[in-house]
Amino acid sequence: MLHERINIVYLRLVVNENFMKFKLIYPKWVKLKGQTTFNLPPHGPVVFAAALPDDVHISFTDENVEDIDFDGECDMVGISTMLSTQIRRGWEIADEFRKRGKQVIFGGISTMLHAEETMQHADSVFLGEAEGRMEEVMADWRGGRLKKVYNFMGKQPAIGAIGPARRDLYKREMYNHKGVQMVDLFHASRGCRFSCYPCAVSYLGGRIFRPRPMDKVIEDLASIDNNRLFIVDNSLAQNREWEMELFREMRPFKKKWISHTIEDDPKVLDMAAQAGAWYVYQAVYDTSDYIRERIKRYHDHGIAVEGTVLLGLDNQSEDDVKRLIDFLLTIDLDLAEFTVMTPFPHTKAYDDLMRQGRIFDFDWNHYNAGQVVFHPKQMSAGRLQELYEYAWDTFYRDETQESKMMRLFTRVVMREMEEGTYRPRDRRLINKSFGKDVTRAVSEN
């Protein structure tokens, strides 16, 4: 289905000399020091690209794995941003292209969070979800009437309008580490019925859970030539019956996948395991028996767990943080990821801390969830920064993050071999990591 669509688009472009050349860019950002870095193929840009009209020819550059050609031929530049730590680099890129006479449009999550500042660097800013809206934008551009803002916030398109992402735009060899292909990103729903304190999802996608029609989910899955996925939905634990149906439909694909939280129900967990659940991200917010037992239930179903631990909430003292870190060492987590509470714009955390005058750093490059930008309630900012670093050092003291990740990887390889779905590493890329030359350790096979 996807290949047929690509061929049709190609034929249209060949016969139409007036097609528009659209350069789509995903800006780089500085990775957190000391953590294992893997560049995954970005999801937002290729979902956006699928919403562009067929007479738009798209070239895609992910600056995290390749350089931008500022002098290459194009009619318009699109900059897709996800993280706050990308937004300033996005502005720099836009300024450079505008000096060359190119019009620039911004879109994506952090564009929506930083829209007013972004307008100073853009010819146009697109806010909201793109499906069914880009024909209007492109027609305006062709007619010389491009609007400064296209605001569709709170006006979500029909969920059935979301088709397969344009993963054909990826340069696959760039998302490969020593011959091992990185996971593909995929989503089965939008919106979230939860409204967690430091999260911007309710602002970005609404408080209503919006599952994609299952035939669209299957079509998207069938288009992904990768046996490993990361399901990027905010939470799969939003509707039990939908969740069970999703796992039933995923099972025949025999893919192994990572996701955020799954419903804490033995039947759901069993179905998830059958559908290929590899490991899940699970928030660890206290030292309760409930958390301990929840981790155990995941493990009982053969599903590994990466604990996500948020530090710096107002109800946390220094002793609370230390107790939480000690607790992690007793519950058999496979991995842990520590973040400091970060007040992203358009969240309740941002509103509260702004009102209380507690935010002291507005450099968006520092909003990486690893740098303290506000005054905590029960300790100094400096002390919270020290505890964040102490958490990483303590959890990975006896075994490095890379070693723990390798153990998870080995487990999934064994499962794939048992099921006949294992794909050996690409030996042609054995000395490459994300497009760059590397030296392999002798012990690697």
pLDDT, residue 4, reads 53
Q: Which residue is associated with the tokens 């990775």?
A: 31
Mean pLDDT computed over 431-437:
94
CATH no. of 2-157: 3.40.50
- CATH number, domain 160-419, options 3.20.20.60, 3.30.750.200, 3.40.50.300, 2.40.40.20: 3.30.750.200
Portions of the chain given CATH number 3.30.750.200: 160-419
H-state helical runs in 1-160:
2-15, 44-50, 84-99, 109-113, 115-119, 134-142
pLDDT, residue 13, reads 47
Res. 420: pLDDT tops 60:
yes
Q: pLDDT confidence of 441, banded at 50, 70, 90? A: low
Portions of the chain given CATH number 3.40.50: 2-157
Q: Are 191 and 156 in contact (CB under 8 A)?
A: yes
Structure tokens, 307: 């604990």
Residue 151: strand pairing partners? 127
pTM for the complete prediction? 0.93
Rg (C-alpha) for the chain, rounded Å, is 22
Res. 404: pLDDT tops 80:
yes
Structure tokens, 90: 């996005």
Mean pLDDT computed over 148-160:
95
Give the torsion sign (CA, 381, 382, 385, 390). negative
pLDDT, residue 17, reads 56
pLDDT, residue 207, reads 87
Q: Are 225 and 2 in contact (CB under 8 A)?
A: no
Q: Are 190 and 159 in contact (CB under 8 A)?
A: yes
> How does the average pLDDT of the chain come out, rounded?
93
- In the chain, the percentage of residues whose pLDDT exceeds 90 is 89
pLDDT, residue 5, reads 54
pLDDT digit string, tens, across residues 327-377: 999 999 999 999 999 999 999 999 999 999 999 999 999 999 999 999 999
Mean pLDDT computed over 3-22:
60
Report the candidate in 250, 248, 246, 230 with the shortest Cα–Cα distance to residue 238. 246
Q: Which residue is associated with the tokens 């249209």?
A: 12
